Structure 1
Amino acid sequence: MASLDDLKPGVDPDRPVHIVFVGAGAVGCFYASRLHHPTHNIHVSLTARSNYKALTENGVRLQTHTFGDYTFRPDHVFPSVTAAAAGSRQWDYIIVTTKALPDRSDDSALIAPLVGPNSCIVLIQNGVGVEQPYRARFPTNPIVSAVTIISAEQTSPGTIRQNRWTRIHLGPYSNSASFSSPSSNTPAYPRGDDTTGALLPTGASASASTASSQPAASSNPTDNDDDEHSPTAILQRTGAHRAALLSDWWTRLGQIRDVDLAADEIALQTVRWHKLCINAAFNPSAVLSGGRGNADMVRDAELRAHLAGVMREIWAAAPRILGREFPGYMAGPEKILKSTERNVGSKPSMLLDWEGGRPMEVEVILGNPVRIARARGVEMPRLQTVYALVRSLQEVREGKKAREKGKL
């Protein structure tokens, strides 16, 4: 019986492949539905919270622009990670599609009960630096980093509408997005009660002290590249293999036509930084401008100049951080601004979270890129200013809510 690591893309497994999605929102449910193929021995399960009852009773009802309407019935639906970890099943892939809020919780600790020695961790999340807590806690497990461009929403518990796009980029991760300097392996996530500017997120201190005793990957992904037995080379090789299997299953079996398998680790991080050009400019600016939508902002001369300044700063910094220029086919700041003029009525996710009173992805979209750049000797003053203002805005509102709650 072949092991998962012996499989080649295009060859169906002759043993069960067990995949669990942590996060049963719109993105997670859509990609899970295109990966579940029991007739090919690929079995996908979900962990769910608010929509657990609907998913167990009716499965996932999908209304899609690309594949029509259908119902996805997962192998199992679990009410928690603890429930998914119970029993003897070994998870080959743990795919995380939750919102990335490292200043609130350490999601690497959340999935720890699911991770075995042969598990691959897949992160379909916004921002940059999302991989680092997982690498610190699981130094020898392969990690696949994924960037998606999809328009999907959960219109009611268990009902998912996919409006446009299905593109997903996949690539291996060893340690290229570390935001520690070469002399430090401790990432910093400032919090509202942080007076030093270097506190870890809740639970992260345990990550540093309880991580596996196996040797961690080099803090520099290019270290020992010529040594195929180095920790970095092994992580890149195993991560690339696992990414290739996922790409094949989503493409050949799931019929998603725009699955992009990155040539290498830096190619995938380049995609993350390109998406950041858009997210780090439009998301916080929509909040700071008082709730203006994307098209509305680019039609205002001063706001357009501000957006262009943030994007150009990232566009110039990313090659210095990654050691590689953006490919010519990727849209630059001016083209992005021009295309956004037609995006009437669109509100970025950070604004929707702000209006809904939910935590915003401040750290992975703003704080992490500033820290990663600074660790490499690159300053981004525009982005740092935006980060400081949005972070403060959120802290002030949460402090006010806490005081009002205390008076009740």
Structure 2
Amino acid sequence: MGGLEALSPGTDPDRPVHIVFVGAGAVGCFYASRLHHPSHNIHVSLIARSNYKALTEHGVQLQTHTFGDYTFRPHAVFPSVAAAAANPNPSGAGPREWDYIIVTTKALPDRSDDSALIAPLVGANSCIVLIQNGVGVEQPYRIRFPATPIISAVTVISAEQTSPGTIRQNRWTRIHIGPYSDSASFSPASDNNNASNTRSSSSTATYTRGDDTTGALTPTGTFPAPNSSNTNNTTKTPPTMEALQQTGSQRAALLADWWTRLGQIRDVDVAADETALQTVRWHKLCINAAFNPAAVLAGGRGNADMVRDDAELRAHLSGVMREIWAAAPQVLGRAFPASLAGPERILRSTERNVGSKPSMLLDWEAGRPMEIEVILGNPVRIARARGVEMPRLQTVYALLRSAQEVRERGEKKAAGKGKL
């Protein structure tokens, strides 16, 4: 089973553990800072873009509600994936692979295939960790890396980058982590139960990609099949789903231990099984898929404004959440636990969230691409593959995707005229 049989990182005190975060925004920098413990032979590096200069010169300046103010100086800061792949251990101990590759970028599968982006970093003993919004985010990684353990993670954190290299964490830091084998694929449930690691690319979702400004290395409309030249361990027998889950669980337990025992983050939850983690993803989707697109389509209204001041908008938000609440158990084969807040409780809580703008609205106002596919498109496709329709969510998905396409066509047309 290739790398799955190797000694797990962290089990040998004399063997350094090397972790790299792909994405040095607020979420990535915060969680990286609580995972970096050189005295315990755990070394965390960052791959940064716009804030690369600030991080190399001053480190990460953190202003936190939970841990006070402090400076995080990573083991290394790289300007690109290529640089991190060429020299994963710049301290002079010699080149070696990354034990953990933690992806904290926005999930934009319609713009770039980030599984291709990280391919140069992945080795036989690597583990991929995805701290991203939405559902189905794991699928391109599983197809490209059929023998690599994957950890899926969902976080609820209030954090922002107030200036390059300066991170403010306000309150929450809860993160749920768990192994991923193939449970969020786009295949029908009957196929998923017998999923193999030789699934062809024809079973994946197809997107109309943009101009690859987010760094795609493979600007195509489909994800590569597992026998692609970019797939690792192609000459060895792929591990079973059970082996991937077991190894993923072991690696998730190590991360949780480091974050809690060493990093002092109290709210790190290791999912009991793969479906439990996907249940958390779909629960967060109730909030993201309701409030994010509505804020944009309603003309730029904040969360509390929509809930408190407009009965029709409140009814719409409730309808979207209830649709997901009803569909998710059919998709996952498991109901939401009673401990998770239902739609009405979420709405009442949102009434107090005055001044809050969801991330899609912030991206729309800044002219950035929105996470439409993973928050809206993927759940519609995944549910449909299992015989479940979500007409409210599909309508919102179609309208918001069209709004973004129309605006981008207008921007390209205007830019073309400006060159005349």
Distance in 1, matches of 2:209 and 2:301, equals 26
- State whether structure 2 residue 318 is matched by structure 1 residue 308: yes
Aligned equivalent of 2:126 = 119
Aligned equivalent of 1:227 = none
Distance verdict in 2 for CA 1:294–1:358, change over 3 Å:
same
Deviation at 1:321, TM superposition (A): 0.5
Deviation at 1:191, TM superposition (A): 2.1
* Letter of the structure 2 residue corresponding to residue 294 of structure 1: N
5+ residue gaps, structure 1: 194-200, 218-229
1:362-381 alignment runs, 5 A limit = 362-381=372-391
The DSSP-based 3-state class of the residue aligned with 1:252 is helix
Aligned equivalent of 2:263 = 254
1:214-363 alignment runs, 5 A limit = 231-299=240-308, 300-363=310-373
* Letter of the structure 2 residue corresponding to residue 17 of structure 1: V
- State whether structure 2 residue 158 is matched by structure 1 residue 161: no
User: Would you say the 8 A contact 1:103–1:202 is kept in 2?
Assistant: no
- State whether structure 2 residue 216 is matched by structure 1 residue 202: no
Aligned equivalent of 2:91 = none
**Structure 1 stretches of at least 4 aligned residues deviating more than 4 Å after TM superposition:** 3-9, 214-217
The DSSP-based 3-state class of the residue aligned with 1:144 is strand
Deviation at 1:278, TM superposition (A): 0.3
User: Would you say the 8 A contact 2:134–2:374 is kept in 1?
Assistant: yes
Deviation at 1:204, TM superposition (A): 5.6
Distance in 2, matches of 1:264 and 1:402, equals 46
Distance in 1, matches of 2:64 and 2:149, equals 32
Q: Tell me the matched-pair count.
A: 386
Distance in 1, matches of 2:125 and 2:332, equals 29
1:26-41 alignment runs, 5 A limit = 26-41=26-41
If the length of structure 1 is used for normalisation, what is the TM-score?
0.91
1:107 corresponds to which of 108, 114, 118: 114
**1:218-275 CA-partner distances (Å, limit 9, x unpaired):** xxxxxxxxxxxx6110110000110000000000000000000100100000000000
User: Would you say the 8 A contact 2:9–2:15 is kept in 1?
Assistant: no
* Letter of the structure 2 residue corresponding to residue 234 of structure 1: A
User: Would you say the 8 A contact 1:4–1:13 is kept in 2?
Assistant: no
Deviation at 1:188, TM superposition (A): 1.6
* Letter of the structure 1 residue corresponding to residue 358 of structure 2: P
* Letter of the structure 1 residue corresponding to residue 317 of structure 2: L
Distance in 2, matches of 1:386 and 1:349, equals 16
The DSSP-based 3-state class of the residue aligned with 2:98 is coil
If the length of structure 2 is used for normalisation, what is the TM-score?
0.88
Deviation at 1:184, TM superposition (A): 6.8
Distance in 1, matches of 2:331 and 2:119, equals 30
1:17-166 alignment runs, 5 A limit = 17-87=17-87, 88-166=95-173
Name the Cα RMSD after superposition: 2.0
Distance in 2, matches of 1:206 and 1:189, equals 8
**1:182-216 CA-partner distances (Å, limit 9, x unpaired):** 397532243278xxxxxxx8346462243353689
**1:319-375 CA-partner distances (Å, limit 9, x unpaired):** 000000100100000110111111111100000000110000000000000000011
Distance in 1, matches of 2:220 and 2:255, equals 30
Distance in 1, matches of 2:393 and 2:259, equals 35
Distance in 2, matches of 1:96 and 1:367, equals 21
User: Would you say the 8 A contact 2:62–2:167 is kept in 1?
Assistant: yes
Deviation at 1:5, TM superposition (A): 5.9
Deviation at 1:6, TM superposition (A): 4.6
Identity %: 78
Distance verdict in 2 for CA 1:8–1:397, change over 3 Å:
closer
